[in-house]
Structure 1
Amino acid sequence: MRQGSIKVSTLLLCVFFCCALNANATSFSVTSYGAKANPSADDTTAFLTTWKAACACSGNVELLIPQGTYYLGQTVFRGPCKFNTITVNLQGTLKASTDLSRFGKGDDWVEFSFFNGLTLTGGGIFDGQGSASWSKNECPTKKNCKVLPTSVKFVSLNNAVVNSVTSIDPKFFHFGVLQCKNFKASNINIKAPEDSPNTDGIHIERSTTVSITDSIIGTGDDCISIGQGNADVLISGIKCGPGHGISVGSLGRYPNEGNVKGLIVKDSSLTGTTNGVRIKTWENSPSYSYVDNMTFQNIKMTNVFNPIIIDQNYCPYYNCDRSAPSKVKISNIFFQGITGSSKSQAVMTVKCSKSAPCQNVIVENVNLQYTGGSNPIALCSSADVKFPGTKPGECTSA
Structure 2
Amino acid sequence: MGSKFVLRATFFLFLVALFIKAKAADIDIKKFGAKADGKTDDSQAINSAWKEACTSATPSTVVIAKGNYMVGPVKFQGPCKAPVSLRVEGTLQAPAEPEKLKSQDGWVIFQNIDALSVSGGGTFDGQGSIAWSKNDCAKTGKCNSLPISLRLTGLTNAHIQDITSTNSKLFHMNILNCKNVTLQHVTINAPGESLNTDGIHIGRSTNINITGAEIQTGDDCVSIGDGSQQINIEKVTCGPGHGISIGSLGRYHDEQPVRGVTVRNCTIKNTSNGVRVKTWPASPNGVASDLHFEDIIMENVTTSPVLIDQEYCPNGQCQAKMPSRVKISNVSFKNIRGTSADPVAVKLACSKGIPCQNVEISDINLTCNGKNGTCTSVCSNVNPTVTGKVIPPACSAKTS
Alignment TM-score, normalising by the size of structure 2: 0.91
Deviation of 1:394 after TM superposition, in Å, equals: 2.8
Deviation of 1:215 after TM superposition, in Å, equals: 1.2
User: CA 1:302–1:104 in 2, change beyond 3 Å: closer, same or farther?
Assistant: closer
Q: In structure 2, list runs of 5 or more residues that go unmatched.
A: 1-22
Deviation of 1:374 after TM superposition, in Å, equals: 4.7
Query: Matches of 2:358 and 2:206 in 1, distance apart?
Result: 24
Q: Deviations over 1:285-314 (max 9, x none)?
A: 1x2110101110100111112100100111
Residue type at the aligned position of 1:386: T
Deviation of 1:323 after TM superposition, in Å, equals: 4.7
List 4+ stretches of structure 1 deviating above 4 A.
none
Residue type at the aligned position of 1:275: N
Q: Is the 8 A contact 1:39 1:70 kept in 2?
A: yes
Query: Matches of 2:257 and 2:67 in 1, distance apart?
Result: 43
Residue type at the aligned position of 2:39: S
Alignment TM-score, normalising by the size of structure 1: 0.91
Q: Is the 8 A contact 1:142 1:317 kept in 2?
A: no
Aligned partner of 1:308 in structure 2 is: 306
Query: Matches of 1:140 and 1:88 in 2, distance apart?
Result: 35
Deviation of 1:267 after TM superposition, in Å, equals: 0.6
Out of 307, 324, 327, the position equivalent to 1:326 is: 324
Q: Deviations over 1:21-41 (max 9, x none)?
A: xxx532211110111112331
- Larger Rg belongs to: 1
Query: Matches of 2:285 and 2:145 in 1, distance apart?
Result: 26
Deviation of 1:360 after TM superposition, in Å, equals: 1.1
Aligned partner of 2:59 in structure 1 is: 60
Aligned partner of 1:78 in structure 2 is: 77
* Number of residue pairs aligned between Structure 1 and Structure 2: 374
Q: Deviations over 1:345-365 (max 9, x none)?
A: 100111111111111110000
Aligned partner of 2:196 in structure 1 is: 198
Out of 142, 160, 163, the position equivalent to 2:161 is: 163
Query: Matches of 2:376 and 2:38 in 1, distance apart?
Result: 55
Q: Deviations over 1:121-164 (max 9, x none)?
A: 00000000000111111112212343411111110000000100
Out of 249, 260, 272, the position equivalent to 2:247 is: 249
Aligned partner of 1:9 in structure 2 is: none
Deviation of 1:387 after TM superposition, in Å, equals: 2.0
Deviation of 1:393 after TM superposition, in Å, equals: 2.8
Deviation of 1:60 after TM superposition, in Å, equals: 1.3
Query: Matches of 2:48 and 2:110 in 1, distance apart?
Result: 15
Query: Matches of 1:95 and 1:185 in 2, distance apart?
Result: 21
Q: Is the 8 A contact 1:348 1:379 kept in 2?
A: yes
Residue type at the aligned position of 1:26: A
Aligned partner of 1:12 in structure 2 is: none
Q: Deviations over 1:67-94 (max 9, x none)?
A: 00000121111111111x1110000000
Aligned partner of 1:25 in structure 2 is: 24
Q: In structure 1, list runs of 5 or more residues that go unmatched.
A: 1-23
Aligned partner of 2:229 in structure 1 is: 231
State the percentage of identical aligned residues.
41
Q: Is the 8 A contact 2:125 2:168 kept in 1?
A: yes
User: CA 1:304–1:104 in 2, change beyond 3 Å: closer, same or farther?
Assistant: closer
User: CA 1:168–1:145 in 2, change beyond 3 Å: closer, same or farther?
Assistant: closer
Out of 277, 291, 295, the position equivalent to 1:294 is: 291
Aligned partner of 1:216 in structure 2 is: 214
Query: Matches of 1:47 and 1:60 in 2, distance apart?
Result: 17
Query: Matches of 1:87 and 1:102 in 2, distance apart?
Result: 28
Q: Deviations over 1:101-134 (max 9, x none)?
A: 3325321100111010111000000000000111
Query: Matches of 1:104 and 1:340 in 2, distance apart?
Result: 43
Out of 108, 112, 119, the position equivalent to 1:121 is: 119
Query: Matches of 2:174 and 2:52 in 1, distance apart?
Result: 26
Q: How does 1:95-134 map to 2 (within 5 A)?
A: 95-134=93-132
Name the SS of the counterpart of 1:40 in structure 2: strand
